[in-house]
Amino acid sequence: MSDLLSKLLAERDWLMADGATGTNLFNMGLEAGEAPELWNEAKPENIRALYRGAVEAGSDIFLTNSFGGNAARLKLHNAQGRARALNRIAAELGREIADAAGRPVVVAGSMGPTGEIMAPMGSLTHESAVEIFHEQAEGLKEGGADVLWVETISAPEEYAAAAEAARLAGMPWCGTMSFDTAGRTMMGVTSAAMVDLVEKLPNPPLAFGANCGVGASDLMRTLLGFVAQGTERPIIAKGNAGIPKYHDGHIHYDGTPALMAEYAVLARDAGAKIIGGCCGTMPEHLKAMHKALSERPRGPRPTLERIAEVLGPFSSASDGTGDDAGAPRERRRRRG
């Protein structure tokens, strides 16, 4: 337990992670279609401001600007050859901000999905996926990241490939999936199935959980699904600040700082140890979340009814884990 995150997890009751990366960078003038990772080199001052925003709002952990920094995604910008360097710089900038914080702050090296569909359905093999993630992991390690932070994954195969890459890089890691399809991930993984997947890995993550997805209510339901499996592993909750709405040609997330504060407290009470935001979560949301987590006493584990009452309705009737989950269609006959 020599790494900073393990140390903080052992010492503290809860840790706050950061908010959105994309939403913040777009507000600084990132053009849609531009790869945010290119800013690590071109506009480092903006990336420092992004990190500083989270740290000043009280985050104990912040993610590096490297979500799309794997060779498969960078290829869309003809920058596949720069994956390692862009990740290294993302982490170096993070190190700089974290070391100046005056308190322990974890630099988490963000690793998003490859965007490819894995074999046998798609063309990405396990070996290639491991290689892609490993390159990114080495860059983040070189830059001084404390931990690798795999996020927004939907396929179990991809989660496993990222785990193997972390092992090859000799780095501790965390990994969250995105549950956005009737309570499951796009590839059909339920909260219960993820707990199972995590515990079967040869190098399980320090913490696991859910990020992004549909809205704070759905994310809370997923969280309760993890807890119901009786896992002892620290759980991460990183939900979006509400749901995006369209007004006069602009999009904004409808989750207010007050709502995100409620979400943070409910997430802690439900059993999450690391709590943060995702899309739409700005420093003002993080400040409200930090205040609520610091001031409000721990309450009982919330029920689904309570969650819907405070945060709004769920996007689907079931999350695929209970008896009411849809059963596959009756087969006529099975072939031998």
Partner 1 sequence: MADEEDIILSELSDDELVLQMHDDLYDGLKEEIEEAVNILLGRGWAPYDVLTKALVAGMTIVGYDFRDGILFVPEVLLAANAMKAGMAILKPLLAETGAPRMGKMVIGTVKGDIHDIGKNLVSMMMEGAGFEVVDLGINNAVEKYLDALEAEKPDILGMSALLTTTMPYMKVVIDTLKEKGMRDDYVVLVGGAPLNEEFGKAIGADAYCRDAAVAVETAKQFMSRKHNQTA
The verdict on 244 binding partner 1 (CB under 8 A) reads yes
Least Å distance, CB 312 to partner 1, is: 14
The verdict on 322 binding partner 1 (CB under 8 A) reads no
How far apart, in whole angstroms, are the C-alpha atoms of residue 138 and residue 70? 11
Least Å distance, CB 212 to partner 1, is: 9
Q: Which of 1, 251, 258, 304 binds partner 1 (CB under 8 A)?
A: 251
Using CB under 8 A as the binding rule, the residues of this chain from 167 to 226 that contact partner 1 are 180-184, 186-188
Buried b (16+ CB within 10 A) or exposed e, 187-198: bebbbbbbbebb
The verdict on 297 binding partner 1 (CB under 8 A) reads no
- Please, what is the Cα angle at 298 between 292 and 299, to 5 degrees? 110
DSSP per residue, 70-111: SHHHHGGGT-GGGHHHHHHHHHHHHHHHHHTSSS--EEEEEE
Say how many residues touch partner 1, by CB under 8 A.
Answer: 44
Contact map string, positions 115 to 154, toward partner 1, x by CB under 8 A: x-x---xx-------------------------------x
* Cα dihedral sign, 246-217-328-159: positive
Residue number with CB closer to partner 1 (64 or 154): 154
Q: Give, in order, the Cα–Cα distances in Å from 108 to each of 174, 220, 314.
A: 9, 23, 30
The verdict on 299 binding partner 1 (CB under 8 A) reads no
Contact map string, positions 1 to 40, toward partner 1, x by CB under 8 A: ---------------------x---x----xxx-x-----
Buried b (16+ CB within 10 A) or exposed e, 159-183: bbbbbbbbbebebbbbbbbbbbbbb
Q: How many CA atoms lie within 13 A of 177 on its CB side?
A: 31
Least Å distance, CB 31 to partner 1, is: 7
Residue number with CB closer to partner 1 (117 or 201): 117
Contact range with partner 1 by CB under 8 A, out of 101-109, 130-138, 241-249, 265-273: 241-249
Please check whether residue 201 is in contact with residue 163, taking contact to mean a CB–CB distance below 8 angstroms.
yes
Given the rule CB under 8 A, which residues bind partner 1? 22, 26, 31-33, 35, 73, 76-77, 115, 117, 121-122, 154-155, 180-184, 186-188, 244, 246, 249-251, 253, 279, 316, 318, 320, 325-329, 331-336
